[in-house]
Amino acid sequence: MPAYDRSRPGTPLSRAVPDPRRWEPMSPTTTAPSSVRRAALRRVFLPLLSAAALLMAAVTPADARPGLVDSAGQGGVVVRTELGLVRGVSHGAYATFEGLPYAAPPTGPLRWHAPVPAAAWQGIRDATQPAQRCVQMPAPGTGVGGPSDAGAVVGSEDCLYLNVTVPATKTAGKKRPVLVWMHGGAFLGGSGSDYGAERLAVQGDAVVVTVNYRLGIFGYFGHAALGTVPPFGLADQQAALRWVRSNALRFGGDPGKVTLFGESAGAIGICAHLTSPTAAGLFQSAVLQSGSCLTSFPRGALAPGTPAYEPFATQTDVQTAGAEAARQLGCTEGAAREVLTCLRGQSTGRLATAQLMQSFNRPAYGNGLLPVAPDKALRAGRFHRVPVVLGTNHDEMRMFVGVSLGAFPLRTESDYRARLTEAFGPAAAAVEAQYPAARHGSPALAWAAALTDRSFTCTTLAAGRAIAAHAPDLPLYAYAFSDREAPVLAGLPTNPGFPYGAAHGFEMPYLFPSFPTERPLTGEQSALSDRMVGYWTNFARTGNPNTAGAPRWPAFRVSSPLRPSVQSLASGRGGIRPVDAFTAHGCSLWDRLANEPPANRSGL
């Protein structure tokens, strides 16, 4: 069984599991290798393309200085990529290039195959419209599809495309930092084109890339007939990063200064890449928003009766689920090749059912991309030594609880205790003592607070402590998005007496201003947005979020978890300041419960 050689990133990821003893973490100076939420609240954002505002620039040969070029008076902003010329659109202060292929369509024999390079093309490829999103199912309130589309299939298997947003101004030879965004969506939904990156690009003077990657059964399927394979969705993300490394300079970006950032499932995936040998050299810093390798949910967290959720699966887990899927699809006869041919012959629509999609939303480990479980790797210090920002929103779980209250009301203390018992078993009384309904204003708000702390805030702080324990000199920063008057994301139900506060995803419009909300940001919130964009992009540029004139953001410290080293991000005077998140979110309780024997902590 050959050991993994990280100097050969082209080695197929479906090969035997590498010897983890041969893997070494990447440092910020590592030379790049020589050769690669449920769908809730991911809104479709299609940038308005204006043909009247085209940027004109001089034609530049492929081997000259990088930057924007013009197609000899034909209009449109043109860049010569590694695979061919692409024409984007100027929006005045910035330009966009959408639907750029970073891998071949994963269809036919390439369904459930590691991504392979896209083919080159002749002429100029149109990059003025977003590509199809990866196959997913619309659901009420997601903004994906119309009101009559619930249960229909949205998107295409031919979806491995990315989008690039660049400032219009020339850099006179200076290379810009590159931020690569991985969307959230529980590994079941979302699209890179949902996020307009113009503010980050223009205000932060950065190149911003947003990425589509395979979802659900198409991205995380496993079956004995396939053998040991990587989680295809995460392999797609690494293929996109290889594309960025090869093409960043052509858009004025610095291929040696790539920051990987994402939210929810996007952040969980990024944390996995921090532990992945095959990600060595592909990014130089990371921002994890509302997700980490340690994020998980207890039983009944999303609704009564829902199972506990851990973000990563074993090969046995996915192959068992795959065998059941094959049985349902009638693909059980014959040898492995016949079974696989039958599975790959199924229509997209037959595979994209709610049951099958939701059976495959956990990346598997025990393969070349993820040799060991990312949570265990992180705690053992097996992660790339790159600067990290990680954080959560103050009221994360209010989004999930608020969406479920119509179908599953939570009005009485009896309702509350039933939820606590389902989730925490013998520890329910201890949890209720720390989160009494009276203190939080209602049973529903108390339930959301307990889940926020258990599933998001305290697990994220634990991830930060793990990083700091093994790499005490690593630049590491933590934040708490705490603007509790943040605009409510469009499409969320209204629940009297249940304010959303700073819920899951509510920081999105502060970074991506076109993200749909029920109202625009106020003046003070726009000022907070300015600060956040400055922090994020300066971190991408220097590995330190601090900028001149902004409130100082202290580094995260592990020596004293009670030290106020988490930066609170809220609007208004004094809203940006260090806070003691560990105490404010009751993390000592959750740390203690997590260390108790399994019989005493039930779904914890």
* CATH class in words for 37-146+154-379: alpha beta
Q: How far apart are CA 310 and CA 365, in angstroms?
A: 12
Please give the backbone phi and psi of residue 262, each rounded to the nearest 5 degrees, phi first.
-170, 170
Q: How confident is the model at residue 138 (pLDDT cuts 50, 70, 90)?
A: low
Mean of the per-residue pLDDT values for the chain? 86
Q: How confident is the model at residue 560 (pLDDT cuts 50, 70, 90)?
A: low
460 and 296 Cβ atoms separated by less than 8 Å: no
Tens of pLDDT, residues 335-344? 999 999 999 9
The CATH number, out of the four listed (3.40.50.1820, 2.40.10.10, 3.40.50.300, 3.40.50.80), of the domain defined by the range 388-601: 3.40.50.1820
pTM, two decimals, is 0.87
455 and 306 Cβ atoms separated by less than 8 Å: no
Q: What is the DSSP string of 429-457?
A: HHHHHHS-HHHHTSHHHHHHHHHIIIIII
Does residue 396 sit in helix, strand or coil? coil
- Residue spans of alpha helices (H) in 264-385: 265-274, 315-329, 336-344, 348-351, 354-358, 374-379
Query: Which residues are designated catalytic?
Result: 264, 396, 504
Q: How confident is the model at residue 497 (pLDDT cuts 50, 70, 90)?
A: very high
Tens of pLDDT, residues 314-372? 999 999 999 999 999 999 998 999 999 999 999 999 999 989 999 999 999 999 999 99
> Is 80 exceeded by the pLDDT of residue 33?
no
Taking residues 69-81, what's their average pLDDT?
67
- Axis-axis angle for helices 265-274, 232-247 (nearest 10): 70
Q: Let me know if the fold of 37-146+154-379 is the same as that of 388-601.
A: yes
Nearest-CA neighbor of 222 among 18, 367, 105? 367
Domain locations in the chain? Answer: 37-146+154-379, 388-601
